[in-house]
Amino acid sequence: MRHVRSVVLLLALGAGATASCGDGSGVDDDTIAEATVRVRADGCEPRTELGTGTSIGDGLVVTAAHVVAGADRVEVVDHIGATTATEVVLFDPALDVAALRPVTIPEPAVPLRADPATEGETGVIAIMSADGSIELVDVEVMQRVTILTTDIYRNEEVRRPGLRVATTVEPGDSGAMVHLEGGGVGIVWSRSTESSDQAWTVDLPSQLLQPASRRALVEPVDTGLCP
C-alpha cells in the first residue's frame, strides 16, 4: 500500500477544496493537485492508454511518451472533470517523455526546477485516480542515476538520466511529476522490478525548462508506433 499524504476531492468539491500543504516546494498542495490531469490516448486498440500529466506553463502538459505512443487521439481531463482534445508536440521514445498542447489550457501550472535533486530530498507525486480525486503520494529521493535501459519499443539501448525514488506507483501513474523543494524535477516512467515501493523517474529535457523553448513547441509530431 502506498503512503498517500492527502486526497484532494477536486471533482466533488471544486477548486476550493482544502488540502494540507508543506512539501517544501513553495507551491501549496491545492496548486499541485489542480495542475494534475489524466491523459487518455486512443489508437492502440483494443485498449485506451491512461497516464498522469502535469501542467507546466506556456500551454503545455508533460507526461510519459509510452502513454501516448501510437495514439491517433489524445485527451486530457482536468481537475474539474473537463475533457479537452490535445496535440502531442514533443515525443521522445528514448527518454520516455512527451509534451502535449491541449486546446483548453489546464490551470494553474506548477514551476519546474533546473537544479538536480539530491539524495534524501522529500516531496510528493500527484496522481489523478479513477474517481477524479488527486492523490498526493509521498516520495523520497534515494539516488541520482543514469539508467541503462531501452527505448519504449525495446529496440535500442539508451541512457536515461533521472532518479531512483522511494514511493509506490501503480498502472496509470506513468507521467506523474515529482515535486520537490523549488518545483518539479522529473516524471515517473516505471515501477522498480526489484522493490514494490521504489520507482524510476527521468529528468525533464532542457527544452521543457525554458519558457521560450516551451512556447516554440506548437506543431503536432508523430507519436510513432504502438509499444
Q: What is the pLDDT along the chain (227 residues), one digit of tens a residue?
A: 566 665 655 444 343 333 333 444 567 888 999 999 999 999 998 989 999 999 999 999 999 999 999 999 999 999 889 999 999 999 999 999 999 999 999 999 999 998 989 999 999 999 988 778 899 999 999 999 999 999 999 999 999 999 999 999 998 899 999 999 999 999 999 999 888 899 999 999 999 999 999 999 999 999 999 99
Domain boundaries, the chain: 1-218
Cβ within 8 Å of residue 90, ≥6 positions away: 97, 98, 99, 205, 207, 208, 217, 221
Q: How many CB atoms lie within 10 A of CB 58?
A: 18
Q: Rounded distance, CA 178 to CA 172, Å?
A: 15
CB 122 within 8 A of CB 180: yes
Nearest partner of 58 among 210, 214, 218, judged by Cα: 214
Q: Tell me which fold the domain 1-218 belongs to.
A: Thrombin, subunit H (2.40.10)
Question: The pTM is what?
Answer: 0.89
CB 55 within 8 A of CB 38: no
Residue 72 φ then ψ, to 5° = -110, -5
